[in-house]
Amino acid sequence: MTTKVDTSKTGTSRPLGVHFEMATEALLAPASLDVAKLQNVLGDMMSHKIDYADLYFQYSRSESWGLEEGQVKSGNFSIDQGVGVRAVSGEKTAFAYSDDITLSALQEAAKATKAIAGLGAEQTASSVTKRQASQLYLPQDPIASLSADAKVKLLERLESFARKLDTRISQVTASIAGEYEVVMVARHDGVMAADVRPLVRLSINVIAESNGRREQGSAGGGGRFDYSYFTDEVLHDYAQKAVHQAIINLDARPAPAGSMTVVLGAGWPGILLHEAIGHGLEGDFNRKGSSAFSNMIGQQVAAKGITIVDDGTIADRRGSLSMDDEGNPTNRTVLIEDGILRGYIQ
């Protein structure tokens, strides 16, 4: 998927503490939790010979709207929250969670994870260090960025643009979706990190009919910003791409059978790459020796000229995050360079 990126919308100029403040207000304050109480829970876990422990808090609010035959016929809205408690001891990992973010729920979940204790060395929780990664997107709520009426009108404009492009368009469906997510991570080594993550997506599907033949085309895009990104210019671009694809398909001939060279363009074919080698390059599989790429660092695993990069630091992109699920800043990692295996996904 290709999205236009306006780097002026990124949150790099935001005060460093804003994410902690927003996460504390959304996740901790309603239950009268604070940093000291979290450290007490982690300290109790580490006193039972655990190698590593962390708490992962999450609040998520999401919505979706669907338009068909000129009317919005579907809509969904959900709110989820909870906390996960993880403990690691040697090769063992224990995980417990609760939808109820309270001190008692935290203590019960932590107690459940201590069943794996015994292999690690007894430790204590460290003093707190707040970690702030480079902010790749603004900490904004896309769901609140437009009224319900404005969201409906946005979908109606998108449909109108598509129908005006070609009289052979007989059907248009469109959808819009948004998510607002707040996360906080607290680790036994004292590291604490927080992130506020917006996410939006808009898509259109059209059906063209001519001489008894029906074909479809689709387009769309999104990223980590709010609905204001979807200007009339962007909507027209999506509509034009979907209609063009459908019209081209009307004149397309069936593909011949047999083996042949296939050229894949940028965008969704990246999923094929992800499935073909992405999982095999995950660090835990290679550490355990269960991947086809185990012990092959520095060796040629692809044709020369092939370079594969895992980059979670591109501003505003759907696949980018300011931090991972353990509170570490995301990176740009070269996995394969000119056919040579250089590293794994950690």
Looking at the fold, whether 288 and 182 belong to one and the same domain comes out as no
Residue 101 has pLDDT above 50, yes or no: yes
Whether residue 258 lies inside any domain: the answer is: no
Backbone angles phi, psi at 205, to 5 degrees: -130, 130
Tell me which residue of 113, 75, 106, 108 sits closest to 92, measured CA to CA. Answer: 113
- How far from the centroid of its chain's Cα atoms is residue 316's Cα? 11
Looking at the fold, whether 282 and 245 belong to one and the same domain comes out as no
Mean pLDDT of 222-231: 97
271 to 176, 294, 345: CA distances (angstroms): 22, 22, 16
10-19, 33-42, 246-255: segment of lowest average pLDDT: 10-19
Looking at the fold, whether 216 and 277 belong to one and the same domain comes out as no
Q: What is the dihedral of CA 137, 140, 145, 151, to 10 degrees?
A: 60
pLDDT value, residue 134: 77
Q: Is 168:250 a contact under the CB 8 Å cutoff? A: yes
Looking at the fold, whether 208 and 129 belong to one and the same domain comes out as yes
- Model confidence at 116, in pLDDT bands (50, 70, 90)? confident
315 to 6, 11, 310: CA distances (angstroms): 8, 9, 14
Strand order across the beta sheet in which 332-337 lies: 308-311, 332-337, 340-341
Looking at the fold, whether 51 and 170 belong to one and the same domain comes out as yes
Residue after which a domain boundary falls, among 218, 250, 282: 250
317 to 7, 221, 256, 344: CA distances (angstroms): 11, 10, 37, 22
Residue 14 has pLDDT above 60, yes or no: no
Whether residue 2 lies inside any domain: the answer is: no
Residue after which a domain boundary falls, among 216, 250, 284: 250
DSSP secondary structure string for all residues of 44-57 = HHHTTT-SEEEEEE
pLDDT value, residue 246: 97
Looking at the fold, whether 299 and 158 belong to one and the same domain comes out as no
pLDDT value, residue 130: 80
> Please, which residues have CB within 8 angstroms of residue 313's CB and are 6 or more apart in sequence?
134, 136, 320, 330, 331, 332
Residue 11 has pLDDT above 70, yes or no: no
CATH number at residue 33: 3.30.2290.10
pLDDT value, residue 118: 58
Q: Whole-prediction pTM value?
A: 0.85
15-29, 57-71, 119-133, 324-338: segment of lowest average pLDDT: 119-133
pLDDT one-digit tens code per residue, 160-185: 999 999 999 999 999 999 999 999 99
Looking at the fold, whether 204 and 295 belong to one and the same domain comes out as no
> Please, which residues have CB within 8 angstroms of residue 180's CB and are 6 or more apart in sequence?
60, 61, 62, 141, 142, 143, 144, 196, 197, 198, 199
Mean pLDDT of 265-294: 89
Domain count, the chain: 2
pLDDT value, residue 258: 94
Residue 121 has pLDDT above 60, yes or no: no
Mean pLDDT of 44-53: 86
- Model confidence at 5, in pLDDT bands (50, 70, 90)? very low
- Model confidence at 135, in pLDDT bands (50, 70, 90)? confident
pLDDT value, residue 125: 57
Distance CA 201, CA 222 (A): 4
Residue 142 has pLDDT above 80, yes or no: yes
13-22, 225-234, 236-245: segment of lowest average pLDDT: 13-22
Structural domain including 290 reads 270-341
Looking at the fold, whether 240 and 301 belong to one and the same domain comes out as no
Mean pLDDT of 22-37: 94
Whether residue 260 lies inside any domain: the answer is: no
* CA max distance for the chain: 76
Mean pLDDT of the chain: 89
pLDDT value, residue 268: 81
pLDDT value, residue 123: 60
Looking at the fold, whether 96 and 230 belong to one and the same domain comes out as yes
pLDDT value, residue 46: 87
Looking at the fold, whether 235 and 280 belong to one and the same domain comes out as no
pLDDT value, residue 126: 65
Residue 6 has pLDDT above 70, yes or no: no
Residue 47 has pLDDT above 60, yes or no: yes
Distance CA 143, CA 62 (A): 7
pLDDT value, residue 255: 85
Looking at the fold, whether 198 and 313 belong to one and the same domain comes out as no
Distance CA 101, CA 83 (A): 6
Beta bridge partners of 84: 56, 97
Q: Is 192:116 a contact under the CB 8 Å cutoff? A: no
